[in-house]
Structure 1
């Protein structure tokens, strides 16, 4: 029988909780027993497992999802003087990865139904300085930019998918990561598959994979024979210490056999929320398309969000706000643009507890608390259909 780590009773009221299946500790112990804690053969085994799962040729593991984005952008030559088109509705890590290259963000608005970019919004935002588009697969929902891929390529603009929320989601018959675009995943603590901390880049070519591997290892390559007999390595370019440790990789490998169960559970819980929320008027559920996604978040849009958020927190329900629009943040204010859909979503979005310790009874309790908060803050729900 699988042993789950943690207390479901304690975790049910949290916004999100890491979910372990019980084999992770033993997997980490095996790595610790080797005395080698950095990048090891276990890391390479994890890379191979991800590549096999996605049906791609290569995968390069790094220490975080942010590192994956930064490394991918560096690998395609993004730097000072370049713009990267990116939705403002994302975690600030996405923007910080762009700034770390010396490039600047070109913020783009979102479809209010999905909180994701569309092909038309992207094309309206690109400029002569744009060299990459960084669509965010918000909540796990795939973003289809197929219709503009050739147009972007003709303008030397590369699509780099921020798929931090979307491991296991699919574009039609292919999984995200196997569509031909450069793709970055996160395996942080509360992701659908966790390494404790980690990320991975899915490159488009072997040369791109070699470049990413060199960058993540401080620009170092091991010497071959007479190339350098003194130091045993050569530094061939700019790099950072971004490699994933074998300890983190071992956690991910232990999670993989259970990923099908993870997928079923997260889809079932998201659909349970959809059914329960249908009784509340004035509440719109953000659509993640659970038939194609492995849902990472469950979110609603409500006009009096701040009051409801405070009321639910006071009652002990772990709601959150994901995310405050980046173009309104002080650090990024110089790149502010008029993004009406993003600003409205930023003012209305509320993230409900969503993790695998939840039961459908827990979900009913959360939705009941939401209804009570709506009543107490002046927006009385009525029986009927939510706006979806």
Structure 2
């Protein structure tokens, strides 16, 4: 009873922006998480003096990680690269996507989803997102298919997913390559299938803020050996996985371009330790997500992004809720974010939609399509401009009390919204 009264007093006190005490003063869970296993793994690699990426063959730690990660995500083959962007680029080239081709991508995503298409020489065809999940609208994808469409890249976002059943059906119907952008989808399950194994290729990121990290890194997973072999050759300067000189044993037109996108053994060693942590962290994040969803639904004007019921395992990256300023006396979303930060709650807004964020060379087909025509994607643009509020994933590795702080900071701001107008 005393604790409840103390919380009520905190929520009724002046806003932190107006000189009051913030709801939260203590630190949030730190990220990345590391321990003895990461330190030992790195030390072991350093002592071997084999630090770099394998040349013509995956290095020992790299090969071990490729096998463990791909098998844990429902695939037979894995190819490590040095970033999630590189993973998307390599996957597109392995699928023979190039100049003249179109690739359908969602508007609301990180820029790499679209820039990788441009890097492959193809044209990103942007579609809007579902207003409930903020993930690719599967019906819009079908409407966007033309005789130039070669691939579709759905993105797992906000702990949710596009309708993978519909997307798979569309790709099969039109003979399109389905490349899953799983940069934010580690460990997800759609029905009984792991994210990354549903389509033809799955691309993951291990950048600093992702569910698993080695600072940077990425991996492509697939059940198609031809794609796996092509991915390896593309990322390792044209070498076959079994070794050999660049280009040796590969027909000149088989692989369009070759790159050095290799992962180091130190990164792979860290990721092996991070993979062991992933499954327990998913349970903690998902439990906290469910609890916070319940708390926020009690606040008029706040609605957590919907998670598709067919996602049997998921966790938020980032967590996102939709904000209705009319329930907060007209307080703009960006002022809410500023107030939440002052109350000790890290938060932000989405990346700009791809039509606003990507650089399209002047006079290119993409420039004409998205700049000159000023095409709009109303759901994505509303999310970016006024509606969506994001919370970083590491907040969800804490306790129930941490989730209460988030909810109570919002309640506090709502009660005093007039003071911010």
Bigger Cα displacement from structure 2, 68-77 vs 170-179: 170-179
1:10 aligned residue: 27
Please state whether the residue corresponding to 2:158 is helix, strand or coil: helix
Distance 1:148 1:87, change over 3 A: closer
Q: Give the TM-score, by structure 2 length.
A: 0.80
Helix, strand or coil at the partner of 1:84: strand
- How many equivalent pairs are there? 363
Q: Whole-Å Cα distance in 1 between the matches of residues 242 and 47 of structure 2? A: 29
SS in structure 2 at match of 1:284: strand
Q: Distance in 1 between matches of 2:397 and 2:381?
A: 32
Instruction: Output the TM-score relative to the length of structure 1.
Output: 0.86
**What SS does the corresponding residue of 1:324 show, helix, strand or coil?**
coil
In the alignment, what sits opposite 1:175? 194
Indicate which of 350, 359, 368 corresponds to 2:399: 359
The 1:378–1:134 alpha-carbon spacing in structure 2 relative to 1, beyond 3 Å, is farther
- Residue by residue over 1:81-116, the C-alpha shift from the partner in whole angstroms, topping out at 9 and shown as x without a partner, is 111110110011211111111112111011111011
Q: Which of 328, 334, 357 is equivalent to 1:306?
A: 334
- Give the alignment's Cα RMSD to 1 decimal: 2.5
Show structure 1 runs of 4+ deviating over 4 A.
none
Structure 2: gaps spanning 5 or more residues: 1-24, 54-58, 325-331, 361-365
SS where residue 10 of structure 1 aligns? coil
- In structure 1, runs of 5+ residues without a counterpart are 1-7, 225-231, 381-388
Structure showing greater Rg: 2
Alignment of structure 1 residues 1-388 onto 2, 5 Å: 9-12=26-29, 17-39=31-53, 40-221=59-240, 233-235=245-247, 236=250, 237=255, 238-289=257-308, 291-303=312-324, 304-329=332-357, 331-332=359-360, 334=367, 335-336=369-370, 337-347=375-385, 348-355=387-394, 356-378=396-418
Q: Judging changes above 3 Å, is the alpha-carbon distance between structure 1 residues 214 and 28 closer, same or farther for their aligned structure 2 residues?
A: same
Per-residue CA deviations over 1:309-342 (Å, capped at 9, x if unaligned) read 1222334421112222121236258343331111
Offset, 1:9: 4.7
Alignment CA distance shift 1:197-1:370 (3 Å):
same
Superposed CA deviations along residues 333-383 of structure 1, whole A, max 9, x for unmatched, are 834333111112222111124315422212211222222333444499xxx
